[in-house]
């Protein structure tokens, strides 16, 4: 996690944005008095949104929990994909 002041961010914007997108860093831009902005990569943002969607309903959450339990008990199998 990177932390920068707004003035430092302005001076080094390319460096900070490169770190966020290339190294999957999270950047917090401190604006003072417990105020700030978080910058994350688009890939990270999309991943968080997908996770939030998957956990947004109780039915999805239960289905995912059941799948995790099966994997942890080695009670799973693999299947080959059929390619046309």
Fold assignment, 2-40:
YefM-like fold (3.40.1620)
Query: For 30-43, what is each residue's pLDDT tens digit?
Result: 998 888 999 999 99
Contacts of 44 (CB under 8 A, 6+ apart): 24, 26
- Residue 47 pLDDT greater than 90, yes or no: yes
pLDDT-based confidence at 67, cuts 50/70/90?
Answer: confident
Identify the H or E element spanning 14: helix 13-23
Q: Which pLDDT value is given to residue 32?
A: 83
pLDDT-based confidence at 83, cuts 50/70/90?
Answer: confident
Q: What is the mean pLDDT of residues 3-9?
A: 94
Q: Where in the chain is the domain with CATH 3.40.1620?
A: 2-40
Total residues belonging to the chain: 84
């Amino acid at each position: 996690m990177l932390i920068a002041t707004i003035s430092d961010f302005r001076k080094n914007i390319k460096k900070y944005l490169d770190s966020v997108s290339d190294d999957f860093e999270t950047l917090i831009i401190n604006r003072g008095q417990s105020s700030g902005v978080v910058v994350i990569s688009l890939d990270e943002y999309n991943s968080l949104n997908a996770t939030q969607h998957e956990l947004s309903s109780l039915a999805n959450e239960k289905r995912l929990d059941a799948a995790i339990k099966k994997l942890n008990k080695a009670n799973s199998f693999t299947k080959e994909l059929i390619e046309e």
